[in-house]
Structure 1
Amino acid sequence: MYTMVLKMYWTNNTSDFILLGFPIFISKTLFSFLIILLFLMINLLQNMIVIIITRIDYQLQKPMYFFISNLAFVDILFGAIILPNVMILILSHRNTVSFLGCMMQMYFFLAIGVTESFLLAVMSYDRYVAICNPLKYTGTMTSNVCLFLAIGCWTGGFLSVILPVIVISQMKYCSHVINHFFCEISPVLQLSCQDIHWLQISFTILASVVIFGTFPIIGMSYLKILLNILGLQLLNSKKKTFSTCATHLIVVFLYYSTITFMYIRPKSESNLELDKRVSIFYSVVNPVVNPLIYCLRNNEIKKSLRKCLRCT
Structure 2
Amino acid sequence: MKTDNQTLIAQFTFQGFSSFQEHQLTLFVVFLALYLLTLVGNVIIVTIISLDRRLHTPMYFFLSVLSASETVYTLVIIPRMLSSLVGLGQPISLGACATQMFFFITLAINNCFLLTAMGYDRYVAICNPLRYSLIMNKSICAQLVGGALSIGLLVAIIQISSVFRLPFCGTEVAHYFCDIRPVMKLSCAKNDMHDIMTFVISSLVILVPMGLVFISYVLIISSILRIASAEGRKKAFATCASHLTVVIIHYGCASIAYLKPKSENSRDEDQLISVTYTVITPLLNPMVYTLRNKEVQHALRRVMGRKLS
What is the aligned partner in structure 1 of residue 250 from structure 2? 255
Structure 2 spans left out of the alignment, 5+ residues: 1-5
The Cα of 1:271 is off from its aligned counterpart by: 3.0
The Cα of 1:28 is off from its aligned counterpart by: 4.3
SS in 2 for 1:17: strand
Cα deviation, 1:261-301, whole Å, max 9, x if unaligned, reads 11112212853321111010111101111111011111100
What is the aligned partner in structure 1 of residue 100 from structure 2? 105
Is it true that 1:180 corresponds to 2:158 in the alignment? Answer: no
Aligned length: 302
Is it true that 1:34 corresponds to 2:2 in the alignment? Answer: no
Question: What is the root-mean-square deviation of aligned Cα atoms in Å?
Answer: 1.7
Cα deviation, 1:208-265, whole Å, max 9, x if unaligned, reads 1111211111011100000001000111111110011011111111111111111112
What is the aligned partner in structure 2 of residue 69 from structure 1? 64
Q: 1:136 aligns with which of 127, 131, 134?
A: 131
* Letter of the structure 2 residue corresponding to residue 86 of structure 1: M
The Cα of 1:93 is off from its aligned counterpart by: 5.7
Moved more, 37-46 or 224-233: 37-46
TM-score by length of 2: 0.93
The Cα of 1:32 is off from its aligned counterpart by: 3.2
Moved more, 126-135 or 26-35: 26-35
- For residues 188 and 19 of structure 2, the distance between their equivalents in structure 1, rounded to whole angstroms, comes to 30
**Contact (CA 8 Å) 1:20, 1:95: kept in 2 or not?**
no
* Letter of the structure 2 residue corresponding to residue 61 of structure 1: H
Q: 1:27 to 1:143 in 2, by over 3 A?
A: same
Q: 1:166 aligns with which of 161, 167, 173?
A: 161
The Cα of 1:14 is off from its aligned counterpart by: 4.2
* Letter of the structure 1 residue corresponding to residue 63 of structure 2: I
Structure 1 spans left out of the alignment, 5+ residues: 1-10
Is it true that 1:121 corresponds to 2:110 in the alignment? Answer: no
* Letter of the structure 1 residue corresponding to residue 178 of structure 2: C
SS in 1 for 2:13: strand
Question: Identity over aligned residues, as a percent?
Answer: 33
Q: 1:146 aligns with which of 118, 141, 149?
A: 141
The Cα of 1:27 is off from its aligned counterpart by: 3.1
- For residues 189 and 263 of structure 1, the distance between their equivalents in structure 2, rounded to whole angstroms, comes to 14
TM-score by length of 1: 0.92
**Contact (CA 8 Å) 1:19, 1:180: kept in 2 or not?**
yes
What is the aligned partner in structure 2 of residue 211 from structure 1? 206
What is the aligned partner in structure 2 of residue 264 from structure 1? 259
- For residues 89 and 214 of structure 2, the distance between their equivalents in structure 1, rounded to whole angstroms, comes to 46
- For residues 89 and 236 of structure 2, the distance between their equivalents in structure 1, rounded to whole angstroms, comes to 54
- For residues 283 and 37 of structure 1, the distance between their equivalents in structure 2, rounded to whole angstroms, comes to 13
- For residues 177 and 267 of structure 1, the distance between their equivalents in structure 2, rounded to whole angstroms, comes to 18
Q: 1:231 to 1:80 in 2, by over 3 A?
A: same
Q: 1:270 to 1:133 in 2, by over 3 A?
A: closer
What is the aligned partner in structure 2 of residue 306 from structure 1? 301
Q: 1:233 to 1:36 in 2, by over 3 A?
A: same
The Cα of 1:23 is off from its aligned counterpart by: 3.0
